[in-house]
Structure 1
Amino acid sequence: MAVAVCTCAALLLIIPGSGRSVNGTDPGIGGTITLCAGFNKVPKYSIIIWDFVSESTQRIAECLRLPGRSDIRYRGEANPRLNLNRINASLTITDLKTTDSGTYLNTILNKAVTRDFQLRVLAPVSKPHIRKLGKSSGVCWVQCTVKNGEGVNLSWYRGNKRISNTSSSDIKINLTLPLNISEYISTYRCVASNPAGNLTVQFDKDALCTGKLLTFIHYVQ
């Protein structure tokens, strides 16, 4: 999906500094992000460069604006996922990968001005699973489980109200969240989410506690 304009929308886990402008069309792996140089149109006699900093600093693209000409140059290995806009010098990255995470530096050489963007690309959240733990005296005990990851949160909802949640910085473990369901309330849902999106398992109490199949619904923020 193409990006038409640069805005301050941060759909990815982008941590821009003051005045930095980004636009994300798809959160997470496989999405698209545009980092904006701060121009509607690159001024004449300007040289705009983009560097990527991870374990080392790599020059990735340059935009030169001279009277009667505007040149785009890409540095390093050819990368078809990068696009430098010759009009406003914004940098678009498509088909995002976790290896795109790092610092992006935008420098206006003739003005000695540098902007920095901290970009983290998150993997999609895994599908949560619910299992029955037991049932007694009209109360059904269930547990929702999901594979943990960076920024993952696991929540129980009754209707639109979140009634419990959990998270952990230990991404090697699974997140689990138990719930006691009374006979008087019938509809619950378990939501696994991170800044890249969410997945929901929605079910009816009677169906779950009598062993019938759950309904799985996929939501993306």
Structure 2
Amino acid sequence: MFLKFVFLSFCFTSLVGVFGDEVKSVMEGDSVTLHTNITEIKRDDVMEWRFGRQTSTIAKIINGINQVSVYADVLDGRFRDRLQVNNQTGDLTITNITTQHTGDYNVTITSATEISHRFNVIVYARLPVPVITTQNSSSSSSSSASNCSLLCSVLNVRDVSLSWYKGNSLLSIISVSDLNISSISLHLKCLNHDDSYSCVVNNPISNQTQHLNTDLCQKCSDCVCCCYVLEAMVRLVISAVVGVATVAVLVNEIRDKQKKISQTPLDHH
């Protein structure tokens, strides 16, 4: 009985082949081709492409009657005018792909045997160029060299990392994998007028870089410098006024003393 079970298991395994997932990463707007890895569909083969957890059929080839069908209206028409099927190999091409096409694809080839192949397609949205702005903050300590910082921001992004670099050296990084977050930002202190700083946003297949415009740091430093110059001028004016007032008081006191002395009668003995 045991040997019979082993024999049946071996026969079933030889009739049905299942290959592991193949991961495909693609940029939104590009095309991706899912290969069946066969050179030619056999005469009696039936090939079916399915998508998603509900395994909706999106394409089917019945080679015996030379029939190729594309079901473009399934899933609210998200595949309409986007599917191409190679009638010789069964390869499926998705053109002008969007993030709505992210998911699992399964192809089954049935004849005397059944072979299945799974694909995991990940579609990444195109990244915007980061935006660098300045942020000034006030401080009561006049000994601080600078209270200005730079802010690098990107909007409408998901599953990305944002980084500050000085040349090729990584200074700081923040990563977001939450699909509900659509914007991130990262600070950098305004250190000097150095154009080797850059801000980079990236996902696993692409990146966008914004280099620091030295005018931003210059304006930042000038702002702080102007604040210190203005403070120094105010103090100088106050000191001058106090000094003039002090001199005036001293002069008046001296004059009063001289006047009292001149009015005092001299004693004659």
Give the TM-score of the pair, scaled to structure 2.
Answer: 0.60
In structure 1, C-alpha distance between the alignment counterparts of 2:98 and 2:52, rounded to whole Å = 15
Secondary structure, counterpart of 2:27 in structure 1: coil
**Distance 1:102-1:112 versus aligned 2 partners, 3 A rule:** same
Deviation at 1:28, TM superposition (A): 2.2
Aligned partner letter, 2:97: L
Deviation at 1:185, TM superposition (A): 4.3
1:1-221 residue pairs with structure 2 within 5 A? Answer: 18=20, 20=22, 27-54=26-53, 56-66=54-64, 70-75=66-71, 77=73, 79-110=80-111, 111-134=113-136, 137=145, 141-147=149-155, 149-170=157-178, 171-172=180-181, 174-183=183-192, 185-204=194-213, 206-211=214-219
Deviation at 1:70, TM superposition (A): 4.3
Alpha carbons 1:50, 1:60 under 8 Å: kept:
yes
Deviation at 1:49, TM superposition (A): 1.0
Look at both structures and tell me which one has the larger radius of gyration over its CA atoms.
2
Aligned partner letter, 1:203: L
Deviation at 1:131, TM superposition (A): 1.4
Alpha carbons 2:154, 2:184 under 8 Å: kept:
yes
Deviation at 1:152, TM superposition (A): 1.2
String of CA shifts for 1:68-110, please: whole Å, max 9, x gaps: x743222352822100001211100001122212221100112
String of CA shifts for 1:132-160, please: whole Å, max 9, x gaps: 22496378521211226331110112223
Task: Please list every run of 5 or more consecutive structure 1 residues that lacks an aligned counterpart in the other structure.
Answer: 1-16, 213-221
**Distance 1:148-1:76 versus aligned 2 partners, 3 A rule:** closer
Residue correspondences, number: 189
Alpha carbons 1:20, 1:36 under 8 Å: kept:
no
Deviation at 1:125, TM superposition (A): 2.4
In structure 1, C-alpha distance between the alignment counterparts of 2:171 and 2:85, rounded to whole Å = 46
Alpha carbons 1:125, 1:196 under 8 Å: kept:
no
**Distance 1:173-1:35 versus aligned 2 partners, 3 A rule:** closer
Aligned partner letter, 1:65: N
**Distance 1:84-1:151 versus aligned 2 partners, 3 A rule:** same
Secondary structure, counterpart of 2:68 in structure 1: strand
In structure 2, C-alpha distance between the alignment counterparts of 1:139 and 1:39, rounded to whole Å = 64
Alpha carbons 1:59, 1:76 under 8 Å: kept:
no
Alpha carbons 1:128, 1:199 under 8 Å: kept:
yes
Aligned partner letter, 1:114: S
Following TM superposition, the consecutive aligned residue runs of length 4 or more in structure 1 with deviations greater than 4 angstroms are: none
In structure 1, C-alpha distance between the alignment counterparts of 2:102 and 2:176, rounded to whole Å = 21
**Distance 1:194-1:181 versus aligned 2 partners, 3 A rule:** same
Secondary structure, counterpart of 1:119 in structure 2: strand
In structure 1, C-alpha distance between the alignment counterparts of 2:147 and 2:23, rounded to whole Å = 51
Give the TM-score of the pair, scaled to structure 1.
Answer: 0.72
What is the alpha-carbon root mean square deviation over aligned residues?
2.9
Deviation at 1:173, TM superposition (A): 5.8
In structure 2, C-alpha distance between the alignment counterparts of 1:125 and 1:51, rounded to whole Å = 29
